[in-house]
Amino acid sequence: MKKYFLFFLICFSIKIFSQDIPQNISYTTIYDFMDELAGEGLIDLNSGIRPYSRKYIAEKLVEAKRADSLLSRRAKKDLEFFLQDYAIERDTLPKTWVHATDKKTWDISLWQPAFHFSNKWFKMRLTPLLGGEVIANKKGAIINRFYGADLQMTVANHVSVYANLRDNSYYGKFLRTSMGMKPADAKLARGSYFNLLPGAEYKEANYGGDFSEMRGGIKAYCKYGSIGLIKDNLAWGESRHSSNILSGRVPSFPMLTLNLTPVKWVELNYIHGWLVSNVKDSTRYYVENLSNGTTEKEYRPYNKYIAANMLTVRPIKNLRISVGNSIIYSEVTPHAAYFIPIAFFKSLDHVQTKGLGVENQNSQIFAMISSRNIKHLHLYASIYFDEIQFKRLKMSEPQRNLYSYQVGATVTNFPLKNLYLNAEFTRSNIANYKHSIQSLTFASNSYYLGHYLGDNSQEIFVKLGYKPVRGLDISVSYTNARHYNDYNYDRNSIGRIIAKETYDQLTWQNDIINLTALYEIGNNVFAHFSMEYNNARGYDQSSRVGSESENCLTAQGFLDLYTPKFYQGKNLTFSLGLNIGF
């Protein structure tokens, strides 16, 4: 008992930066800048697990500051700019304008809009969230607006509390009714849609769509790691577009988190999360008394949970190899076995359910590798196994394993300074991410936890960008997204399904060319403009005789299933927006 107390005492007596608060993954400019610093060799970065904590970002920015002579003039200014945003994590107050301050403990400013307080035992940051965007093409216009607030607090340098509340609205009454558009078509994110918009559960609104998003949590931490109860978004995988492990697209969900970094070359990340199944449980309901004297049953969804871990080792500097596994399970209550952070969950599941003679839970295995051993170049790859049998590896075996793989590369500041290029290729086999039991699919709120295209799909993504001055990012990208034969996961016929030719008959395709200019005017204050051409189309499979589990729809049927009406067909879409905070 004494040795555990001594460890706890040593751990919490070490001076470290404050605020182990997740930096939301939607703040892409800081994540891109961290990748750039790592690509230049100024910092050593584990970029496969996001979000980073604000503490971690502050530490890396300070580390890069010590060698900023190696940076371009623009990158140096970016570094100073971001250091201001993470000032309170460095035990100081930011430099602000149009403000009131005592220059020691507190500062309230209109630019950057924020309130900061910092002393030896308590630190706080409060910022507003406000933004609007107009999205328009030949089908009319959609207005998106959001507002809210973000609060971050640290107590005694070892406990962090944060809350982020945002109310969002998509206004669709400017859509053209002559083209068959309705205000409800402003809801651009749905579980079946193949796009990268953040997942949402919309409230009823006759003018379009409303949804609110609450993130927050509490963490206890020290130099060697942290433990927390949070509700947030997370992404596992090196991808800069959409990871095939955990993409971060689903609505935020509550989870227990554990991070351990006992030495610089080993890191363990673990979560146990409460997902949303969107599948009604006929045995669980409320009884509602109606005014006419009758009652009505309001059914509740099945419980759904995820447990996942990722162990990352760094055998040499700038090379990281990660392996992990996860399980989706749907029991009445959380199971104690899946709270073991370093467990192999499939083995635990076999003990818990295999003897019942019924279908077990849904487990996965994944791995990734990341190399920044060549200056300016980041190479990465990841693989996700939903189901694997070694006999299926034989060339003579017609059945294929359920897996997804992704390879990618990013080049920064080469051959020209301030230039970057990112390319990714992703493929996912038939039935990957799916399950015969709907409450066990690799999804939450009906959104895939993994790659947004789901199973039997392929994507090519290329992005070229240039950052001429501090805060300005001009980029052009091309996406070729394809979805092939669409199968339901039927337990009785799954063997025949996975023996079919993958990437055989196209059911849906979207080609996107995007030009974006993004300018961070002040810390967390953005203006952006984009011009995007897309061509989304479905392919008629209704006349083809498929298997008993294949969905053979018309071209319009596939298009309606996977693409919001606003983006169907050929479109030139313009977007203009301004926002404060995330």
pLDDT at site 491: 84
Which residue ranges make up each domain of the chain? 14-86+121-580
Q: What is the three-state SS of 32-51?
A: HHHHHHHHCCCCCCCCCEEC
Identify the pLDDT of residue 11.
46
pTM: predicted TM-score of the whole model, two decimal places: 0.93
pLDDT given at position 389? 83
pLDDT of residue 357: 63
Q: Are 189 and 197 in contact (CB under 8 A)?
A: yes
- The highest-level CATH class for domain 14-86+121-580 is mainly beta
Q: Are 256 and 263 in contact (CB under 8 A)?
A: no
| Identity of the residue numbered 10 | I
Residue 17: predicted pLDDT: 45
Tokens of 541: 């499979």
Looking at residue 566, the DSSP 8-state letter turns out to be: G
Residue 162: predicted pLDDT: 97
User: What pLDDT, on a 0 to 100 scale, did the predictor assign at position 394?
Assistant: 78
For the stretch 395-399, contacts whose Cβ atoms lie closer than 8 Å and that sit 24 or more positions apart, written own/partner, are 398/499, 399/495, 399/498, 399/499
> Would you list the DSSP string of 500-563?
SPTT-SEEEEEEEEEEEEEEEEETTEEEEEEEEEEEEEE---TTS---TTEE---HHHHHHHHS
pLDDT at position 358: 65
DSSP string, 146-161: EEEEEEEEEETTTEEE
DSSP state letter for 53:
B
Interatomic CA distance for residues 582 and 31, integer angstroms? 14
Give the per-residue SS3 of 431-461.
CCCCCCCHHHCCEECCEECCCCCCCCEEEEE
The answer to whether the beta carbons of residues 469 and 496 sit under 8 Å apart is no
Mean pLDDT, contiguous 10-residue spans, the chain (582 residues):
43 50 95 97 96 96 94 96 94 90 92 91 95 97 96 93 96 95 96 96 90 96 95 96 97 98 96 97 90 89 97 96 97 95 93 73 97 97 92 80 96 96 97 94 97 98 98 98 94 87 94 98 93 98 83 96 98 96 74
474 to 84, 420, 527: CA distances (angstroms): 23, 10, 12
